[in-house]
Amino acid sequence: MNDLEKIEDGLLLMDKLFGEGSSTVAYCGRNDAIVKTALETLPANPKHILVLGSGPYELWTIAGHRQVVDGNATILGIDRSDQITSINQQIKDGGEVKLSSVYSIIGNPVFGQEKHPKTSKQLLDESEVSGVAVDGEQIRVDKINRDRVQIASPSDAADFVSSQEDGSFSFIFSGNLENNMLFQPGYSRERGVTFHRDIARLLEEKGIYAYTTNEVFFNDTNPASARNVREILQEAGLDILYKATQYTHVLQKNGQVAVTENCGIISAKSNEYGSLPHYERAINTVKQRLDSYKDSFQYIENEGTLKELQEAIASGQTNVAMVKVAPDKYHWFNIQGGYREVIPKLAKIGEGFYPDLF
């Protein structure tokens, strides 16, 4: 069996890893590029922010973004884990926590164990996050960041959003929460639609919901699947404004080879945005980054409806990025070939495929 075959087998490990709640790529700054992009999409600085499945990092880094600082926003964080909630309360009260305490719960991150082109500090610097410092032993958070944050009691995210008032938040972020929800007992397509309808209901006018998921779910075209991201969001009354791949690389875990990959989605209530603000800039960024990999693969650039994008995926193309450019019109970038063919090939490029499109 060659290395590529091993990687393709490793794709089958992804569901098992999520099902076990194992975090293979959790580190400070990982999600702040999409947070920055989402905040720049808002027509005004946010006043009230909700972070679902907050984990030990996002509450504090989100609090350090310029738009949050300038808008003097309040941030409410919730996680179903008693241990994560306790760690966040420790940071809130004392301003720091040992990373060893974090790793014992979410697993040791990729950094320091696998080659990666960026450190947490570089990611935070690029996102222009203030008030958060990470070294090899601790995460430290300034008081001004901590004062913006309130920590809710541990709760299931779906139960929590169902109990909140309409129009309560201008920005909602859930990171990788939705992947974990897919493996909760009893999770179904209907529950997914209900969850996203509650998200839409909680958003203020022109509010934004952003989260990260995996390409395997975004490229699912089964209309009955609980993983069909595009159709579930659409049925729940949410438009995708922007979707893009963040990274794809190979991870050795417990003696097995797995491919880890990620994409970010920025959405809003249907028809509130005719297009992604500054969509031309987003398209140009995607093209420049993908062109840097043109010696390794060729992408397909096209425009059409969301239905036409889904038809292209179903016919054997893997989506890399899509941008809403007009009502019911998207500009997208696909790669010829199915997901299980394309993702391992991207992962074989150098130390990994890192376009950082968002």
pLDDT in tens, 94-140: 999 998 888 877 765 554 345 555 777 888 888 889 999 988 789 99
Of 53-62, 127-136, 154-163, 267-276, which gets the smallest average pLDDT? 127-136
The answer to whether 212 touches 181, Cβ cutoff 8 Å, is: no
CA–CA gap between residue 111 and residue 66 (Å, rounded): 26
Average pLDDT of the residues in 168-178: 94
Q: Is the per-residue pLDDT at 160 higher than 80?
A: yes
CB atoms < 10 A from the CB of 194, how many?
15
Q: Is the per-residue pLDDT at 190 higher than 90?
A: yes
Of the two residues 332 and 112, the one the predictor is more confident about is: 332
Residue-level pLDDT at 123: 82
Average pLDDT of the residues in 34-58: 95
Structure letter (DSSP) for residue 114: B
CA–CA gap between residue 49 and residue 207 (Å, rounded): 10
Residue-level pLDDT at 19: 47
**Measured CA angle at 265 (ends 259, 269), to 5 deg:** 155
CA–CA gap between residue 237 and residue 155 (Å, rounded): 25
The answer to whether 174 touches 53, Cβ cutoff 8 Å, is: yes
Which among 2, 9, 1, 3 is positioned nearest to 258, based on CA atoms? 9
Report helix, strand or coil for 343.
Answer: helix
Q: State the chain's mean pLDDT as an integer.
A: 88
The answer to whether 39 touches 65, Cβ cutoff 8 Å, is: yes
Q: How many CA atoms lie within 13 A of 325 on its CB side?
A: 16
| Token code pair at residue 83 | 């241990």
CB atoms < 10 A from the CB of 86, how many?
16
Q: Is the per-residue pLDDT at 355 higher than 70?
A: yes
Domains assigned to the chain: 3-273 (3.40.50.150)
Which among 41, 46, 32 is positioned nearest to 204, based on CA atoms? 46
| pTM recorded for the entire structure | 0.93
Residue-level pLDDT at 354: 83
Of 5-9, 71-75, 201-205, 276-280, which gets the smallest average pLDDT? 5-9
Q: Is the per-residue pLDDT at 60 higher than 70?
A: yes
Average pLDDT of the residues in 192-200: 97
Q: Is the per-residue pLDDT at 58 higher than 80?
A: yes
pLDDT tens digits, one per residue of 219-229: 999 989 998 99
